[in-house]
Amino acid sequence: MSALKAPLVEANGARIPQIGMGTMTLKDEVCVQAVKDALAIGYRHIDTAAYYGNEREVGHGLRLSGVNRDEVFITTKIRPDAAMPDDFARVVDQCLENLKLPQVDLLLIHWPSKTVPIKLTVGALCKAKTEGKTRHIGVSNFTTALLDEAWAATTEPLVCNQIEVHPFINQDKVIAASRKRGMAVVAYVPIARGKVPGSEVLEKIGKAHGKSPAQVSLRYLVQLGLIPIPRTATPAHLKENLDVFDFVLSDGEMAALKRLNANNMRVVNPPHAPVWDTV
């Protein structure tokens, strides 16, 4: 099979491949192999985090793949227990050491801290960029109000907000607020952590295009201009999840998928989550 390629999304100076590979829960050799497999079939965007405990394996998979470092967009994220500037800087250095890279492409604040003022963490994020430890910076799980705070504090452009998006949740407000700032929206849990297969609406639309429900969900997000980062270590699913650029959902199909937003099902809602935007 010739390598599949995702187009690039431009946002505040960054160019981000429109499908990324999620790696949460992938560990040890499974993670190394999945990253290597993904890069071999054309993925050029890998999403990891200090919290996932797999940066060593992501870096190892990257090196084993033989794909040039500068062709791959690598994101990592720093958790709120390192929201104070000194802790943040220490964890960034640890991430780079784990990945065995001098620099990542995108560094994110993984969750807003409930105790440390946003401006302190944003300051540390900007410093990581000016010191060359990352090419771009951004945030994750930021609400419209938190985006305002982050933009008031930052001295560098924030290129993305990584948030939960799939057909079963309404994220219109925060997507609009992110877009207004020129930020890309990276969609995590894009197949609702496995709940998409089995959905009657997605199955039916998929059949009409010869595609799976997972592919319909990813295509829906792509047509909204978002950047989904599905996670799998299953080679057939890896291929399937990148193969969403050869069909187009009609306006009617997009509207039917949009109607599923009314469920407003949030999959990721830990105790440290902020007060989410209301629909």
Q: Kindly list the residues in this chain that would bind ligand NAP in the complex (CB under 6 A).
A: 22-24, 47, 110, 140-141, 162, 188-194, 197, 212, 214, 229-234, 237, 240-241, 268
Shorter beta-carbon distance to ligand NAP: residue 128 or 214: 214
Q: Min. distance of Cβ 148 from ligand NAP in angstroms?
A: 20
Q: Min. distance of Cβ 209 from ligand NAP in angstroms?
A: 14
Structural contact between residues 50 and 77, judged by C-beta atoms closer than 8 angstroms: yes
SS3 string, 199-237, reads: CHHHHHHHHHHCCCHHHHHHHHHHHCCCEECCECCCHHH
Q: Environment class of residue 114 by beta-carbon count within 10 Å: exposed (0-12), middle (13-18) or buried (19+)?
A: exposed
Closest CA to 232 of 253, 252, 218: 218
Residue nearest to ligand NAP (CB): 22
Q: Min. distance of Cβ 46 from ligand NAP in angstroms?
A: 9
- Candidate list 43, 51, 52, 220, residue with the active-site label: 52
Shorter beta-carbon distance to ligand NAP: residue 91 or 233: 233
Is 220 noted as a catalytic residue in this protein? Answer: no
Structural contact between residues 119 and 148, judged by C-beta atoms closer than 8 angstroms: no
Residue reference for tokens 């099979």: 1
Q: Min. distance of Cβ 24 from ligand NAP in angstroms?
A: 3
Q: Min. distance of Cβ 79 from ligand NAP in angstroms?
A: 9
Provide the token pair at 14: 């960054």
DSSP state letter for 167:
T
Shorter beta-carbon distance to ligand NAP: residue 36 or 231: 231
Shorter beta-carbon distance to ligand NAP: residue 86 or 200: 200
Shorter beta-carbon distance to ligand NAP: residue 28 or 131: 28
Q: Cα–Cα distance between 209 and 247 in angstroms, integer?
A: 7
Q: Is the dihedral of CA 175, 177, 178, 180 positive or negative?
A: positive
Structural contact between residues 46 and 58, judged by C-beta atoms closer than 8 angstroms: yes
Enumerate the active-site residues. 52
